[in-house]
């Protein structure tokens, strides 16, 4: 049985991950409206990843005989002035998610919940990758985004992203 605080934080993270999926779908909508289908594709795949992350937390709780409590998912409410604002919001959001994962890890560490810590190890690594990807996207936009041909090429690159389901094994 999991510690009550750890269980509560894991349950909350399910909602946080589903919110992330909503947020990234909102980003995809923004880019679709601008005719940047590659950017939209990139964020749609990001949304798929976040839904899978939510389901990993869901399954972990179930595998540990914990009740899963699903709460309402908040509506993304940001309005963006430019493409770069969306990318920077994505990085900021990933940094927030990293802090949430770290908070759960700290709570598990406090009660010596090694199983949860081991489960979260994958997410800690994943968040490092997510922040790097968001930073890289900002860097590429700074380099190429103001040039229409460069933006076209970047959009084409992002259109080539394909979905790969996470390979985390739950016990």
As a whole number, the mean pLDDT across the chain is 95
- Measure CA of the first residue to CA of the last residue in the chain; give whole Å: 14
What does the block give as tokens for 119?
Answer: 């489960």
How far apart are the C-alpha atoms of 117 and 107, rounded to whole Å? 9
What does the block give as tokens for 148?
Answer: 């229409």
Q: Is residue 171 part of a domain?
A: no
**Are 57 and 10 spatial neighbours (Cβ–Cβ below 8 Å)?**
yes
Q: Is residue 119 part of a domain?
A: yes
What does the block give as tokens for 145?
Answer: 């985004």
Q: Give the per-residue pLDDT at 169.
A: 60
pLDDT in tens, 10-53: 999 999 999 999 999 999 999 999 999 999 999 999 999 999 99
Q: How far is CA 15 from CA 28, 43, 72, 85, 152, in A?
A: 20, 18, 8, 24, 35
How far apart are the C-alpha atoms of 129 and 47, rounded to whole Å? 15
Q: Give the per-residue pLDDT at 165.
A: 79
Q: Is the pLDDT of residue 171 over 60?
A: no
45: number of CA atoms within 13 Å, CB side?
A: 16
Identify which of 2, 1, 6 has the alpha carbon closest to the alpha carbon of residue 107: 6
pLDDT in tens, 49-61: 999 999 999 999 9
How big is the CA angle at 166 (ends 125 and 112), to the nearest 5 degrees? 50
What proportion of the chain, given as a percentage, has pLDDT over 70? Answer: 97
pLDDT in tens, 65-105: 999 999 999 999 889 999 999 999 999 999 999 999 999 99
Total domains present in the chain: 1
Q: Is the pLDDT of residue 163 over 90?
A: no
The pTM of the full predicted model, rounded to 2 decimals, is 0.93
pLDDT category at 170 given cuts 50, 70, 90 is low
Q: Is residue 166 part of a domain?
A: no
Q: Is residue 133 part of a domain?
A: yes
Q: What is the CATH number of the domain that holds 97?
A: 1.20.1260.10
Q: Which residues span the domain enclosing 127?
A: 4-159
């Amino acid at each position: 049985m999991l510690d009550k605080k750890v269980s509560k934080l894991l349950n909350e993270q399910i909602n946080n991950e589903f919110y992330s999926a909503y947020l990234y779908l909102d980003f995809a909508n923004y880019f679709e409206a601008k005719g940047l289908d590659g950017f939209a594709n990139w964020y749609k795949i990001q949304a798929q990843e976040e839904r899978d992350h939510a389901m990993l937390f869901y399954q972990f709780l179930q595998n540990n005989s914990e009740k899963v409590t699903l709460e309402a998912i908040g509506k993304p409410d940001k309005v963006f002035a430019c493409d770069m604002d969306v990318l920077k919001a994505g990085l900021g959001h990933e940094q927030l998610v990293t802090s949430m994962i770290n908070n759960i890890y700290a709570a598990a560490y406090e009660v010596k919940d090694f199983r949860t810590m081991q489960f979260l190890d994958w997410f800690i690594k994943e968040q490092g990758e997510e922040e790097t990807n968001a930073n890289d996207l900002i860097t590429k936009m700074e380099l190429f985004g103001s040039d229409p041909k460069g933006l076209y090429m970047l959009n084409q690159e992002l259109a080539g992203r394909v979905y790969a389901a996470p390979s985390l094994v739950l016990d």
